[in-house]
A and B are shown apart, each in its own frame.
Chain A
Amino acid sequence: MELALIVIAQIFASLLGRAILRFFFYKEIRKFALAEKIALYYVIGMGLIPLYMMLLNCFGMKFSISTIYLPCALIIVFETLHHTSRKPTLTGAQNSSRSRVRIDPVNAFLSLGIFFVVFYSFFTGLVKPIASFDSVASFAIKAKIFFLGAGIPRGFFENLAQNFPHPRFPLMIPLQETFCFISMGSFNDILVKMIFPAHFLAFAALFYFGLKELTGKRCALIFTFLLCSINEVSRFSAVGYTDIHFSLYLFVGFIYWYRFATTASGGALFSLFIPAVFSAFAIFTKDTGFIVPFLFLLLFVLYSKERKEGKGAILAYVRYLALLIFLILSWLFVRLAPESTHRLMTLNALNPAYLVSAFMDRILPVLYEFQVNVFNPKRWNLLWPIFIVLFILNYKWSLRTRLKYITVFITSIFLLYLFFYITVEPSAFGYGKVYAQSLRSGMNRHLIHVTPFAVLWLALIFKKMCESKKEKA
């Protein structure tokens, strides 16, 4: 029974995502493949419901089936009625007559590989309850508190949360879990883990379709398979951590903007809406998400230089920021409150003398842990050695092509994380941990955030190689 209820909850979230997207962006959405639409609906629905729960908390309302489901159901019903009143139009995909489907053995092998990894993720996620350190200590305990209290208790961040690690850590995962517990009507910490491989499946789908438009089907399948088969990625897809969620939000926000910037696909507003919504999700998932608006600022600056649209780009970025702030306003009040004791960095980070001294002290441990991580085929297969060599060799070339957006994005993430490692207070990593130990446990998860971009970059490079061979021929 609980299994059926949690599946229904996720379908409901997908219907909410569908309602929002279809209402505002019907023309853009109808061109997408069905699997891409479902993945997008699911991720948006499961992201908006926690933000909505945060809003309920601001108004002192309890979390219950009626307060969560009823308003969302009204939105779904309203949009469905609105949609049925639309004049029916056939898209190109619907218009085409069904052609015979030829099964290509290579594509079949790659697809099977992807499905196998996703299936294994569901299996490992659902075979045992929440057990890993952060998943118990930082997320599931908060979900239990919110479920048992039917809401975020008054004074939670100032008092109760201080009993647990990271008291003001963003609440996307805990609130998604709370939504599942409320839907099931019980504290079932095995079935709640379903949301993690489900997000991984959506990630694989959105990565594939994002890449397919840029590189074609075969290349998209190959590199989606490569991404899913990276051991560290598939391992974290089922343990109940935030990193796959964060990677997903970061990547999807980027790829839809990138497709618009390089191929003009999707409308301008849609290509602002998706980055803004997913940036909000990223900020509400991890504190690291606060770098995302800065990353998009760089992209907008590059884009405006390329298109020579200064004013247009500024207006677009202001719209992006406005929507982003609107979505996470309720969380910003909590996270940036003066009494928030969980500081990531000290003001020393702005002191040049401190920066130089911290850099000299910490750069060697950072580089050491970096090479321990990246030259480890058990974790990352051959990704990082290949990526680092090709990235260095083709850095200047990529800056002269459309790859410059991805190149700048990846470079900026690495530099921001380096700045974080140099300036962060050791206590931010956990209680009483030695800096180097903390670095090791944190860095492999931070690399997961960059991994889809590295794979995307490689896919586009290899696609360019294939095109150049054809041209030479």
Chain B
Amino acid sequence: MTKMYPKLIFNRTTWKYIFYLWIFIWAFVFCKNLFYKGHLKEYIAIIKRPTLEDKRSFVTGDRLYELIRSAEAKIPENATFEYEGIEEASLSDRRIRYYLYPRLKSDNADYIIRYGQSPARDDVLKRRK
């Protein structure tokens, strides 16, 4: 009874070259991400920021993070907030909720966080009830 063997299309030498091609693609994509897509610049920029707060500010965006810090200082922990100028369910929305917890987002909230059209218009306002 003859044994069946897998069909591998190419011979061993060709598969070796395909392996070398794999390594080339891997190295190419790695270098492209690092240099062309700016990952290296990003890493250097983050490393230059010494503290955890600085790094959080970098990934969030310095302007938005400053607003979040301001909101943290002004809004009591048991109060609620809502915001203007930020898209619902966006990454910025998620980050605001993440950093401001235990303060929760709510409709008709105690405080409004305004992310204005310019940094000068960013503010945290107490809603008059």
Contacts and interface: CB of A to CB of B under 8 A. Distances in A.
A145 B101 contact: yes
A431 B93 CA distance: 13
A209 to B, nearest CB: 22
A128 interface: yes
Contacts of A89: none
Given A128-B46, A382-B18, A144 B101 contact: yes
Interface string A131-166: 101001100110011001000000000001001110
B9 interface: yes
B6 to A, nearest CB: 5
Interface string A150-190: 00000000001001110000000000000000000000111
Contacts of B23: 113, 229
Contacts, number: 103
A5 B55 CA distance: 21
A54 to B, nearest CB: 21
Given A141-B98, A432-B89, A465 B8 contact: yes
Interface in B48-106: 52, 55-56, 58-60, 88-89, 91, 94-95, 97-98, 101-102, 104-105
Main secondary structure of the interface of A (DSSP, over half): helix
Contacts of B88: 431
Contact of B55 (A128, A229, A397): A128
Contacts of A144: 98, 101
B8 A386 contact: no
A165 B105 CA distance: 13
A462 B22 contact: no
B105 A469 contact: no
Contacts of A188: 52
Interface residues of B, number: 39
A208 B3 CA distance: 29
A136 B91 CA distance: 9
Given A226-B22, A381-B25, A461 B98 contact: no
A461 B95 CA distance: 46
Nearest to A390: B8
B120 interface: no
Interface size class of A (residues with CB under 8 A): 35 or more
B94 A137 contact: yes
B101 A141 contact: yes
A400 interface: yes
A218 interface: no
Contacts of B105: 163
Nearest to B18: A382
Nearest to A389: B9
Looking at B8, B46, B58, B95, the one whose CB has the most chain A CB atoms below 10 A away is B8
Contact of A133 (B22, B43, B47, B94): B94
Contacts of B12: 465, 469
Contacts of A127: 43, 46-47
A16 B3 CA distance: 47
A462 B46 contact: no
Contacts of A397: 4-7
A131 B9 contact: no
Contacts of A381: 22, 25-26, 29
A226 B21 CA distance: 12
B25 A377 contact: yes
B94 A163 contact: no
A471 interface: yes
A231 B46 contact: no
Interface string A212-256: 000000000010001001010000000000000000000000000
A378 B52 contact: no
Contact of B26 (A128, A229, A394, A469): A229
Interface in A260-318: none
7 contacts: A136-B91, A136-B94, A145-B101, A163-B105, A164-B97, A229-B26, A468-B5
Interface pairs A-B: 7 shortest CB-CB: A137-B94, A468-B5, A131-B59, A229-B26, A431-B89, A393-B7, A394-B6
Interface of A: 113, 123-124, 127-129, 131, 133, 136-137, 140-141, 144-145, 148, 160, 163-165, 188-190, 222, 226, 229, 231, 377-378, 381-382, 386, 389-390, 393-394, 397-398, 400, 430-432, 461-462, 464-465, 468-469, 471
